[in-house]
Every structure is written in C-alpha cells, then in structure tokens.
Amino acid sequence: MDIAKYISGARLNVRLAGLVLTNRMLRKVDFARGYDTAANTYDSEWLCILKPVTDRLLGILPPFPPGEIYDLGCGTGYTTFTLARRFPEHRINAIDISFGMLTKASHNCPSAFLHHADSLQFLSRQAAESAGGIVAAWSLGGSTDLPLEIAECRRVLKKRGSFAFIISLADSMTPILYAFRKCMYRYPEKVTRALLPQYPKDWNTLKKMLDKNSFSTVWMEEDRIDIKPGDSMRPLAWLLKTGILAGFETVLPLRTDKAVAEYFEQELLASEIPIQHHFIAAITQPVPDHS
C-alpha cells in the first residue's frame, strides 16, 4: 500500500467533508465570476473551437412557432445573434449568469432582451407554453439542476416548439479533470469549495431525462473535438482565458498560488491522453398529444 497516497486521500476527504458540513459548496456565483474574468478572451480562445458544432446545430433548426425564443447561457452572444438573424419575427431573450458575458452579448446582438440569471432561475419565472424555441449551446449540465432545467424547458415550450442543445459529457477534458484532482490530493489544505460535477455520463442517461419529460428526439449527434492550446501559450494560461476552468479556480487558487499552478500544469503536460471535448448535440420536440 502507498502510505503517502492513502494519507493524502484521507486528508482530502476530511477537508471536503468539512466544506460540505459548513455548506461551502461550489456555487453558481463562483462560475459566474470565472466567466466574467474570461469574457474578454472567450471568443478568440474558446468560441472559435466550438463554432463549427454550434453552426451545425443552428443551421438545421426547424421553424419555430410564434412565441419567445430563449437562448440559455448565451455567453458573448454568438448564438443570440445567429438566432436573431434567422428568426427576425421572434423576440430573442439572452440569458446568462455572467454579467461580463452579457455585456459582450449586448454589443454583439443589441436587439436581444438580456437577462442576468441562471437558466433554471429564468425558466421558473416564465409562463407555461411561452416559448416557440429554446436553445442551450454548451450551457447545460455541470450541476444537479439538469433534470429540473429539462423539466422547465418542457413546461415553457409550446407544443410545436423545439428545444435544441449541445451538452458536454462526463468524460470531456479527462486530462484536465485528472490534473485538477491530483492537485486537490497534493494540496488539500488549499481546497476552498466542495464540488460535485454532474455532467451526464452518456446519451442513454440524457435520453431518460428527455423521455421522462415527454421530449422526442428529432436529430442527435455525438462526437468529440480535439482541443489544443495555442502554440505560444502555456496550457494553464490558455485554459484560464477560455472559461473552461470557471468555478474550478475558486476551488483551488490556480491563478494566485504559484506552487498549485505549477503542479497542475506539470500533471496536465504529463498526461498521454488527448484533451477532447466529448459532446452531444440534439434537437428535441414535445411528444405530440393525440388525445
């Protein structure tokens, strides 16, 4: 038995238990701050990688019936602008938890109505069958709210409306997550929040949630994107510019503690597993009511 590894794991478990008992969990406001910080570099460092998949989804959206369009987790407004251009007769609502991202979206799509809120909070305030279309490009998942978000999307969506989304799966960015966990074991005393990532494991897991809420799948694609940092930038510096580590930088001081940052990057560079974004893109609609 590796005694040092055992002791390190025990120390981390005690630390996490203490954080849970004192309700110091990773909060939505922590994610928001991370995205605020990355707002100025998000488009050039991360959106450019996601655009081809996003464009593929947006390009095959069916016509929406009359009603609002909700762009959940709008980010800097790329999806919002595309929706506004394609559906000029609809009111476009752009929702994001990050004020910094919303500020960018307001410049990229000034015709949209902006809402500073998380997706579940926003949806819970909307009337039933108020939306002709709901789009969530890369913003769902990551918390225990996902089943509730899907249920709320079904509640507010019109019978002939469409709910389209792109969502990360649990094994996305495996080397990054592994390096982060190693860092937590190495520096348990520096962990400031307990976190419970809740991305779906696979399509079957996600489909059960959709089926439960009477969504039928019109189109679905599962794929991976190879992720490579810019040649002129250290991996951690690049990751902090993308928003990928939003929230995680609250759990560990990746920006401010040199030892933590160096250990994280050392573990990341040592990985022989390629960094890939494993995702599912889908267009769903409410199951027709034949009664």
Cβ neighbours, 10 Å, residue 204: 8
Amino acid present at 234:
R
Q: Is the pLDDT of residue 141 over 90?
A: no
197, pLDDT greater than 70: no
| Contact assessment for residue 286 and residue 215, using Cβ atoms and an 8 Å cutoff | yes
How crowded is residue 246: how many other Cβ atoms within 10 Å of its Cβ? Answer: 22
Higher pLDDT, 21 or 152: 152
Query: What b/e string do you get for 132-163 counting C-beta neighbours within 10 Å, with b at 16 or more?
Result: bbbbbbbbbbbbebbeebbebbbbbbbeebbb
User: What distance in Å separates the CA atoms of residue 247 and residue 243, rounded to the nearest whole number?
Assistant: 9
pLDDT in tens, 153-162: 999 999 999 9
Higher pLDDT, 144 or 29: 29
Asked if 223 and 166 touch (Cβ cutoff 8 Å), the reply is no
Q: At what angle do helices 28-38 and 235-242 cross, to 10 degrees?
A: 110
What does the block give as tokens for 290? 């034949």
Least confident of 107-116, 128-137, 173-182, 188-197: 188-197
Packing angle, helices 99-108 and 78-86, rounded to 10: 40
Q: Which residues contact 254 (CB under 8 A, 6 or more apart)?
A: 236, 240, 245, 248, 260, 261, 264
Where does the chain have alpha helices with state H? Answer: 3-21, 28-38, 42, 48-59, 78-86, 99-108, 119-124, 146-156, 174-186, 203-212, 235-242, 248-251, 258-270
Tens digit of pLDDT for each residue in 227-257?
987 666 789 999 999 999 999 999 999 999 9
220 contact partners, CB below 8 Å, separation of at least 6:
203, 280, 281, 282, 283
pLDDT tens per residue, range 39-94: 999 999 999 999 999 999 999 999 999 999 999 999 999 999 999 999 999 999 99
CB 25 within 8 A of CB 143: no
Domains of the chain: 3-286 (3.40.50.150)
Nearest to 230 by CA among 215, 214, 242, 247: 242
